[in-house]
Amino acid sequence: MPSNVSPLTDEQQLTLDMVHQYAYCPRRYHLMYIEGRWADNAYTIEGRQAHRRVDKLDHVLPTPDADGGGASEDTSGGAAAPAPAGGSTAREQGDDPPVISRSVPLSSDELGVTAKLDLVSSDGREAMPVDTKRGKAPNNPQRSWEPERVQLMVQGLLLREAGYACDRGVLYFAGSRTRVDVPFTGELETRARQLVHDTHLASRNTTIPPPLEDSPKCNGCSLAGVCMPDETLAIAAADDGQARVEGRSHPPDIRRLYPAREHAIPLYVQEQGAAVGKRHSRLIIRQQRDTIAEARLKDVSQLVLCGNVQVSTQTVHLLCEAGIPVVYLSTGHWFSGITIGQGLRNAYDRAAQFQTAADRERCLAFARQLIIDKAANQRNMLRRNARPQDRTLGDMQDLIDRIQAVSSLESLLGMEGNVAAIYFQNFAEMLKARTLDTAWDFRGRNRRPPRDPVNALLSFGYAMLAKECTIALLAEGLDPWWGFYHQPRHGRPALALDLMEPFRPTVVDSAVITAINTGMVQNRHFTRSDAGCILQPAGRKAFIRAYEARLDQLVTHPVFNYRCTWRTVIRIQARLLARWLRGDVASYTSVITR
């Protein structure tokens, strides 16, 4: 037995779907049942619709005849399955029709499996399971796939343990309205019992299995974006030295197995005094008694409450059940906190996170890579959007080259500050404000409070990015408050700050430059005094549009070489970070723009 598998002390009860998922893909099984991951797509929704009828009401199987009843055991396979639409057919003219039972609960102590069978046709001592599948019958010699046959065979074993003779089953494919007979051979029974045993072992395995390689099963898998099979294999190939492209690793033809742009987007509620409620599966935003906006739940990725905005308890329950976080920003749009449902209940990622945080050498290696990538992105921002002197770019590159030799986190903080000082000294060269006056005279970074409009926008943008990274880390089961480069401190999302470092220039700084240069944000959007500079509500709304447009912009992923949005890139990096912590990938590489 592998060392990472705990011994089976108390036999865990598996569900029938768990055995089916393991037979289909051990990695998918691990993601679903060990890490608690799930994602819907058109196929999973269609599958639930195909089962709506059989799931309406549980039936209890009739007691099998002790003496064989009206039907003798027929090993020749002459029994006819009931019509899946609900009708039943007599075996022979004049015989009583079989009893049709739907949504039948059964369990087996021997196998350690519980199940709810779609449909069972029973007659005396004979019974035959009928399992409904959403798609079309495949065009192969057996007209079915092994996981489907194994799942049906396990149903047969459950029926046998309940006292029935069961030598065959039926797969009903709703997409083609096709019935496929599956004989329960000795070979199929042996295979089913072995997979049940392997599934029990896998339920104790804390290490994610390797991904399938170039498998057609990945196409259409709802968890493909979570699993990232091609990306994981690409990183492994690079670590083995099999592929190198400009210092980055990506073998050709990495499939993007998830949408390039997410359908759901954040919903910001900024009207002071507004209240968020629900009506069925819609969010209703009201101010006093007037409805000012509505949104379908499926179109919302996060609910962001800015300042004095109320939300009902019923709405919070609905959002938690749907896995949609509620984000709280202050009136000044500082990130205050987050409410999220139980979601991912995976303690192993956090255990690996805390173990890494205690490993100073591993933290330093991780932090060095973050700051190298952040500095490279800052240098590329200046190179593309300004006309810096060659000496400026050269000085930045010299500092980047020296970071690799830094031997402590404290020294790394100093090197990061040196690169940032050069970057922000030249930042104003990227600004071409339409309202040219001293308001945009940016001379360097300042904060708490910011003393000019550019710093006010940068501070606001970095707070928004911290919120985005916090949500991405929580979605992966990590603790956003326990970092590796940024040391834990009460109230500071240290790991979120780690994750966001390389994205500061590419997301926030880019959005600030766009908002200023296009006139989206203007002088009138700020209030200035000797004490600082405040971004007014109209300016915040305008900048949020620029920031969200940047996150939604399609880019070519510099590592995997396919198109996706910046928001997706952030979530990929959070996912890769969790995989690096658990050992699924040997190295963590952040994103450098070209």
Does one domain contain both 444 and 480?
yes
Is position 518 within any domain?
Answer: yes
Ramachandran category for residue 69: left, alpha or beta (phi over 0 → left; psi -120 to 50 → alpha) = left
Q: Which of 311, 339, 367 corresponds to the end of one domain?
A: 339
Cβ atoms of 276 and 283 within 8 Å: the answer is yes
Judged against a pLDDT cut of 90, whether residue 270 lies above it is answered with no
Q: How many residues does the chain have?
A: 594
Q: How far apart are CA 535 and CA 541, in angstroms?
A: 10
Convert 342-362 to b/e letters by CB count within 10 Å (16 or more is b). Answer: ebbebebbbebbeebbeeeee
Starting at the edge strand found earlier in the chain, the sheet holding 326-329 runs 265-269, 300-306, 326-329, 335-339
Q: Which residues, 6+ apart, have CB-to-CB distance to 381 below 8 Å?
A: 423, 430, 505, 506, 509, 510
Provide the token pair at 33.
């049942």
Is position 461 within any domain?
Answer: yes
Is position 227 within any domain?
Answer: no
- Parallel/antiparallel/unpaired status of strands 554-556 and 563-565: antiparallel
Is position 239 within any domain?
Answer: no
- Parallel/antiparallel/unpaired status of strands 326-329 and 335-339: antiparallel
The model's pLDDT over 221-269, given as tens digits with 9 standing for 90+, comes to 888 888 889 888 888 877 655 444 444 444 557 888 888 888 888 999 9
The model's pLDDT over 487-545, given as tens digits with 9 standing for 90+, comes to 877 767 899 999 999 999 999 999 999 999 888 988 888 888 777 888 888 888 899 99
In the chain, the largest separation of any two C-alpha atoms, in whole Å, equals 99
Position 523 scores a pLDDT of 83
Can you state the angle between helices 537-551 and 566-582, rounded to 10 degrees? 70
Q: Which domain holds residue 127?
A: 14-65+97-202
Is position 544 within any domain?
Answer: yes
Judged against a pLDDT cut of 60, whether residue 41 lies above it is answered with no
Does one domain contain both 300 and 352?
no
Position 440 scores a pLDDT of 63
Q: How far apart are CA 232 and CA 408, in angstroms?
A: 30
The model's pLDDT over 386-442, given as tens digits with 9 standing for 90+, comes to 877 778 888 999 999 999 888 888 899 999 999 999 998 888 888 886 555 555 667
Q: Which of 339, 359, 376 corresponds to the end of one domain?
A: 339
Lowest-pLDDT range of 68-77, 88-97, 331-340: 68-77
Provide the token pair at 124.
């005396």
In angstroms, the Cα distances linking 110 to 11, 114, 166, 184, 567 are 9, 11, 17, 19, 48
Does one domain contain both 335 and 459?
no
Does one domain contain both 378 and 458?
yes
How many structural domains does the chain have? Answer: 3
Q: Which of 202, 221, 242 corresponds to the end of one domain?
A: 202
| Mean pLDDT across 568-589 | 90
Judged against a pLDDT cut of 60, whether residue 277 lies above it is answered with yes
- Give the global pTM: 0.80
Judged against a pLDDT cut of 80, whether residue 287 lies above it is answered with yes
Cβ atoms of 353 and 495 within 8 Å: the answer is yes
Convert 71-84 to b/e letters by CB count within 10 Å (16 or more is b). Answer: beeeeeeebbbbeb
Does one domain contain both 298 and 316?
yes
Tell me which H or E stretch contains 458. Answer: helix 453-475
Split at pLDDT 50, 70, 90, the class of 583 is: confident
Question: Tokens 């070209």 label which residue?
Answer: 594
